[in-house]
Amino acid sequence: MFRYSLVAGDPLLRGVDNAFAQCGAAVFFISGEYVDAGVIRKEVDRAIHEAAMRGDAFRVIPLVLAQHGGTDDQVPSPLQTLVWKTVDDVDIVPTILRGLPAFLQAQIRYAQPK
């Protein structure tokens, strides 16, 4: 979504830097179609750097999408230093929510069941 706030010709990584500075987590989805053409590697490296700089205020959440052909073998080497979860579609959102920094988890409000 942040791409739409950039001006044509802006460096993509500057936009990634700005986006990371304004959020509390980066989620990387690994499917059977995952291909790293170099850009994703830079985003992964930048996310890991952001987590190192901000500590518990920023999390990197790698998810292997099993129903979409993702396998543990496809997890990029920088993300292999983190715990990743292999999930089915139904578990994606709950897994992301559990991986968020504590201050963000405290802000989540759930609707009462009807």
Look at residue 113 and tell me if it is in a domain: no
* Cα 67 to Cα 47: distance, rounded to the nearest angstrom: 25
Q: State which H helix or E strand residue 61 sits in.
A: strand 59-65
Q: Which of 60, 61, 51, 58 is nearest to 86 (CA)?
A: 61
**pTM of full prediction above 0.75:** yes
Distance CA 36, CA 92 (A): 22
Query: What domain range is 31 assigned to?
Result: 24-105
Task: Say if residue 22's pLDDT is above 90.
Answer: no
pLDDT tens-place string over residues 29-68: 999 887 766 678 888 999 999 999 999 999 999 999 999 9
Number of domains in the chain: 1
In a domain, 82, yes or no: yes
